Amino acid sequence: MNKLVCIACPAGCEMILEIKNGKVISVKNNKCPKGSTYAAEEIESPKRVITTCVKTDLSVKWLPVKTSSPVPKEKLFDFLAEISKIKISKPVKAGDKIAEKLLGFEGIDLIAGRTIEI
């Protein structure tokens, strides 16, 4: 029996997992289906969304960004290093894709968190 705190939302359910051969076979104590999805992923191949900032030449010096989907946890710092190379010199809108396929990963893009007009 394994305990796992769900990070899918602020409720932070303390789930109880049954794991066999590296696979989750049952999840208890989760209040919603996000918990079982998260539990399976966390045990088999943990992932995290990255939120950080990238430098700009605009009126707001740092643009908050996030990855469009979670990245493999063991590659977190590779992604951060890649993101830190990006510089923004044109106005952006919240939701704009400012980089695609980070480190060649299909479906992992970088999304602007706010609008910077000038």
Partner 1 sequence: MKEREIVIIGAGPAGLAAALGAKDKGAKDILIIERDQYLGGILNQCIHNGFGLHRFKEELTGPEYAQRYADMVKSAGIEISDRTFAVKITNKKEIFCLKPGEMMKLKAKAIILATGCRERTREMIPIHGFRPSGVYPAGLAQKMINIEGWIPGEEAVIIGSGDIGLIMARRMIFEGMKVKAVIEIMPKSRGLRRNIRQCLEDFSIPLYLSHKVTKIHGKERVEKVSVCKVDESFKEIKDTSFDIKCDTVLVSVGLIPENELLEAAGGLIDKKTNSPVCLKPYQTSIEGIFSCGNCNKVYDLVDWVSRDSYEAGGLAAMYANGELK
Which residues lie near partner 1 (CB under 8 A)? 5-10, 12, 14, 48-53, 55, 60-62, 64, 66, 73, 80, 94-95, 113-115
Of the candidates 51, 36, 45, the one whose C-alpha atom is nearest the C-alpha of residue 4 is: 36
At residue 65's C-alpha, the angle toward residues 12 and 115, to 5°, is 120
Residue 104 CB, shortest distance to partner 1, in Å, is 21
CB of 71 to partner 1, least distance (A): 13
Measuring CA to CA, which residue among 51, 59, 52 is closest to residue 89? 59
The rounded distance, in Å, linking the Cα atoms of 46 and 51 is 16
**Would you say 21 or 36 has its CB closer to partner 1?**
36
Q: Considering beta carbons, is residue 21 or 114 the nearer one to partner 1?
A: 114
